Structure 1
């Protein structure tokens, strides 16, 4: 008596685990932006065949399971690691950008990040990263903080430009 019960239980667990795995896979693919049409599995074999009573009408054709409409294949995109680093500058480009920013700061009289950004044509993030590198190398200096931060080739010039920016804001 335990044999049929064990077989039926094993079949239910197997079906449940397959369905759960399919649902998890579909969820992950949706989160990644990859939509696939649901795959149909063959109907599982039943261990015991039960026939309907002869008086029961057959199910109408419209109530049968329908297939999901097929979708156009999802657009294949490059892996995230390739997309994220596709526009990363080379070492030579980064060195040229650093030199350009040093020239801009050297020609100015204590410049803010926004002024350097406008003159260089680089993004705020690129300018900030370059300024941090140049400060760490001791090639430029920063005077003041936050909105009054100014960059120059000497500490005295940077501090003076920051004080002037503060006075201008107070007036």
Structure 2
């Protein structure tokens, strides 16, 4: 009698660990801003039946501020959840692309780098941190006046100009 129970328990633990690993991988990829479509769709999960449907009150709709940009379109959750992990070559290529963008600019903000590269803000931030740690780029200023350049003097100068432009 113990054999069928052990086999079923082992199967459940294995399934749970695979699902947990997939969820952790998806979370890391979202955090890095690197998302790719899955190679194949996983089998749909079965959900346990409920005795009675639970109704939750719907929150009141809020109006979007008129000067706020529209939300970006993201892949469906099912595709993001099972995205493949980027290879080290893909990450290195993204870092090099951002390094070239900064080298061709004269003190760029994170938003400008994001628009020129096409990467998400978190992917750009991750690449900027790597490049700063390697000593290949420098940051001048803080918060919304932070600018990135290949020299510390250029980054500081761009930050000062951004501050002056905001004050005018």
1:89 and 2:101 matched: no
Equivalent position to 1:124, from 121, 125, 149: 121
CA 1:84–1:37: 2 relative to 1, 3 Å: closer
1:137 and 2:149 matched: no
Q: Could you report, residue by residue, the CA deviation over 1:21-75 in whole angstroms, capped at 9, with x for unpaired residues? A: xxxxxxxxxxxx852247xxxxxxxxxxxxxxxxxxxxxxxxxxxxx79xxxxxx
Q: Where does structure 1 lack aligned partners over 5 or more consecutive residues?
A: 1-32, 39-67, 70-82
Cα offset, 1:89, TM superposition: 1.7
Report the count of equivalent residues. 99
Q: How does 1:74-113 map to 2 (within 5 A)?
A: 84=81, 86-113=83-110
Q: How does 1:54-69 map to 2 (within 5 A)?
A: none
Q: Where does structure 2 lack aligned partners over 5 or more consecutive residues?
A: 1-44, 53-79
Cα offset, 1:105, TM superposition: 0.1
CA distance in 1, matches of 2:128, 2:49: 50
Using the size of structure 2 for normalisation, the TM-score is: 0.54
Q: How does 1:15-54 map to 2 (within 5 A)?
A: 34-37=46-49
Cα offset, 1:90, TM superposition: 1.0
Structure of higher RCO (CA pairs closer than 8 Å, 6+ residues apart): 2
CA 1:85–1:36: 2 relative to 1, 3 Å: closer
CA distance in 2, matches of 1:87, 1:160: 40
Q: CA RMSD in A?
A: 2.6
CA distance in 1, matches of 2:109, 2:99: 13
Structure (1 or 2) with the larger CA radius of gyration: 1
Cα offset, 1:86, TM superposition: 2.1
